[in-house]
């Protein structure tokens, strides 16, 4: 795990400039750094830089930028190639100097060209310079585990693992992307390919960017193309189904075992995050199965007993025989982290679970450098409660259409029949737009965002692209393309790298993801039992009574914080004078919303009037803007 940055530019960017850019990511790689600039064709210079967190081959031989034996190709790389030892057998004539996976990338490119990335099983962001072809490639892994940003400045391009190096690049204009603000307020994160800045993009998962320093006639200087996608992989999977449950369970279990084992390869101490839920417990059980010594496991608990699940994690750890460490977190510790969010999440991120994720990462880093997590289980195996609600909503859709039609009749519309219906009925009745069928929401939240920003176009319009009738499956695919890389994986990457900790996700192995698409949906949601096949595998390791319970999860008390210790700061951000000077939100609407909410708080379950999430996103944005726009 590392941080990479660099440029392809005709503008003068010095070695000192690139070093300063690279060092903004010291936390991503405290063990080593490398900065180099090369002369390219067409008046270009190519700069490559890396901050290294040593995981494989801790010797200086793993230093980056790394060069091929014939010096034709150079690379900087963030992540892990888990099948690099298998790939290495393909290059019997290559003069390897190290035992790290970076060198295998160079050998693979020399043999197969850029198509080599289709053979990599791992998490990665790669920048590669081919001197013969005078081309630079940027590559991001299939599901977006590793981040990669780029800024196009005319005919120049600057890239980095985070925004901070780009912000530090001479000549960068911190011009905000105003169109993304309403999306952020509603979604709580900024989805690919957009960023908070108008001129910066995220490279999408499963995508290659090619930059030609000297394009021939008719060739584009920069182009992006996909080498893997959720949609195509899903279509291939359903064309080759596994219909026998016993076979599916055995094969999926074997694939997961291989995935976990490959992620335990490291030359540094390794452990697992253990919440006591199905996914983390299963990953821990398989890690312990593959280990000769007790695996180190980590969990956090909370003083608020209704949220504290540390006892379940301890029970699972005891059953599996792991070396378990837990810490009970005080509310003060969580509040202290709020101020640091913009420093490490260098574009606005309002998923409040980033705070406990940072805390468990800090705990783990005291003993290990690598931690396995259970991320991806909910999206690929139908785990979220939202999916269950969507199954019910689809069954009621016809009735909802009838209710909506009746409510629009003369007289009934004027009498606001729809507004008098219970929240859940009204939500289903109003869900008439085919583009957003699986993105159920309260009309009040859309109206709230529109009052602040002038638009309510905040949902994803790609649902119909999947050509899937089942709403649960359609939403799962949508989440894999949006929420998983944009929120979950971004959160885990930034929270863990804050402490120079590498997080690995076995469920997001290419083989697991692709196999999941071959499974009938009933193997995932079996008569209302979600993640059914994963649970059945977990029971092979852990007694049902330790796992079968309603998962509480931990929610940061946003209402309490924003109306308590963060109130003064929120009030300052909501000042009409400040907002009018800032010019990003409707000052009167924002001030009124926050003043009313501070007086009344959230409306409660099934009211459609819980505005704390939107106000938290507003608060997080303003805290971010204070650091990056006023700097």
Q: Does an H or E element contain 27, and which? A: none
CA gap 217, 221 in Å, rounded = 10
Instruction: Please identify which of the residues 2, 116, 490, 505 carries the catalytic annotation.
Output: 2
Residue among 4, 78, 80, 79 nearest 47 (CA)? 4
For 130, phi then psi, to 5°, come to -100, 110
The token pair at 276 is 């006591």
Q: Are 472 and 382 in contact (CB under 8 A)?
A: yes
Beta strands in 104-243 (DSSP E): 122-130, 135-140, 149-153, 156-160, 200-202, 207-212, 222-226
Helix/strand/coil for 369 = coil
Contact 88, 148 (CB under 8 A): no
Reference 45, options 200, 157, 198, 161; nearest CA is 157
Cα(324)–Cα(322) distance, integer angstroms: 6
Angle between helix 471-481 and 385-395 (nearest 10): 140
Structure tokens at 320: 């599996």
CA of residue 119 relative to chain centroid, distance: 23
Q: How far apart are CA 58 and CA 64, in angstroms?
A: 12
The question of whether 2 is a catalytic residue gets the answer yes
Cβ atoms of 271 and 297 within 8 Å: the answer is yes
Under a CB-based contact definition with an 8 Å cutoff, are residues 163 and 490 in contact? no
Question: Within 10 A of 219 (CB to CB), how many other CB atoms are there?
Answer: 10
CB atoms within 10 A of CB 310: 20
DSSP H helical ranges for 89-238: 101-112, 163-167, 181-187, 230-238
- Please report where in the chains the tokens 């819980």 appear, as a residue: 610
CA–CA distance from 10 to each of 13, 16, 38, 156, 160 (Å)? 9, 17, 12, 7, 18
Distance separating alpha carbons of residues 372 and 375, to the nearest angstrom: 9
Q: Which residues contact 444 (CB under 8 A, 6 or more apart)?
A: 608, 609
Q: Cβ–Cβ contacts within 10 Å for residue 45, how many? A: 19
* Cα 605 to the center of its chain, rounded Å: 28
* Measured distance CA(109)–CA(395) in Å, rounded: 50
Hey, which residues are catalytic here? 2
């Amino acid at each position: 795990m590392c941080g990479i940055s660099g440029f392809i530019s005709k503008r003068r960017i010095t070695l000192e400039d690139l070093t300063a850019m690279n060092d903004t990511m010291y936390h991503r790689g405290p063990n080593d750094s490398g900065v180099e600039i090369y002369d390219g064709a067409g008046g270009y210079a190519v700069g490559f830089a890396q901050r290294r967190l040593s995981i494989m081959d801790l010797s200086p031989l793993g230093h980056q930028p790394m060069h091929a034996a014939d010096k034709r190709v150079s690379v900087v790389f963030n992540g892990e190639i888990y099948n690099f030892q298998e790939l290495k057998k393909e290059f019997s004539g290559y003069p390897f100097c190290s035992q790290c996976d970076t060198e295998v990338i160079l050998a693979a490119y020399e043999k197969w060209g850029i198509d080599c990335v289709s053979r990599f099983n791992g998490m990665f962001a790669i920048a590669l310079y081919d001197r013969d072809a005078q081309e630079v490639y940027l590559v991001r892994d299939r599901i977006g585990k590793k981040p990669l940003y780029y800024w196009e400045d005319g005919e120049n391009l600057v890239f980095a693992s985070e925004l901070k190096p780009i912000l530090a690049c001479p000549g960068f204009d911190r011009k905000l992307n105003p169109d993304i603000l309403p999306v952020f307020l509603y979604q709580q994160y900024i989805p690919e390919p957009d960023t908070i800045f108008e001129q910066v993009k995220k490279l999408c998962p499963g995508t290659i960017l090619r930059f030609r320093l000297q394009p021939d006639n008719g060739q584009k200087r920069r182009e992006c193309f996909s080498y893997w996608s959720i949609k195509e992989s899903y279509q291939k999977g359903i064309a080759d189904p596994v219909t026998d449950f016993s076979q599916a369970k055995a094969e999926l279990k074997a694939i997961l075992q291989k995935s976990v084992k490959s992620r335990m390869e490291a030359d540094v101490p390794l452990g697992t995050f253990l919440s006591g839920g199905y996914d983390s417990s299963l990953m821990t059980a398989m890690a312990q199965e593959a280990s000769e010594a007790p695996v180190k496991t980590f969990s956090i608990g909370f003083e608020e007993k209704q949220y504290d699940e540390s006892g379940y994690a301890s029970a699972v750890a005891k059953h599996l025989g792991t070396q378990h460490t837990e810490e009970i977190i005080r509310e003060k510790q969580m509040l202290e982290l709020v101020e640091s969010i913009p420093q490490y999440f260098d574009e606005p991120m309002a998923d409040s679970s980033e705070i406990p994720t940072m805390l468990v990462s800090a705990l783990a880093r005291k003993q290990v450098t690598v931690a396995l997590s259970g991320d991806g289980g909910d999206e690929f195996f139908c785990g979220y409660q939202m999916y269950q609600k969507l199954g019910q909503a689809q069954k009621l859709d016809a009735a909802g259409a009838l209710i909506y039609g009746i409510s629009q009749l003369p007289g009934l519309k004027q009498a606001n029949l729809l507004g008098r219906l219970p929240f859940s009925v009204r939500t289903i009745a109003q869900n008439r737009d085919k583009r957003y069928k699986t993105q159920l929401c309260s009309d009040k939240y859309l109206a709230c965002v529109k009052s602040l920003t002038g638009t309510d176009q905040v949902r994803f319009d790609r649902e119909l692209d999947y050509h899937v009738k089942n709403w649960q499956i359609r939403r799962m695919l949508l989440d894999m393309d949006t929420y998983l890389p944009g929120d979950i994986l971004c959160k885990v990457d930034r929270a863990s790298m804050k402490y120079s900790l590498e997080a690995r996700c076995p469920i997001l192995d290419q083989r697991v993801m692709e196999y999941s698409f071959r499974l009938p949906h009933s193997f995932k949601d079996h008569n209302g039992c979600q993640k059914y096949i994963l649970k059945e595998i977990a029971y092979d390791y852990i007694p049902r009574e330790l796992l079968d319970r309603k998962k509480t999860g931990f929610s940061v008390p946003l209402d309490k914080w924003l109306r308590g210790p963060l109130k003064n700061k929120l009030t300052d951000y909501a000042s009409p004078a400040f907002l009018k000077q800032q010019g990003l939100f409707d000052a009167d609407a924002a001030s009124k919303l926050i003043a009313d909410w501070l007086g009344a708080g959230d409306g409660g379950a099934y009211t459609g009037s819980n505005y704390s999430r939107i106000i938290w996103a507003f608060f997080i944005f303003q805290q971010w803007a204070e650091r990056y726009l006023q700097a």
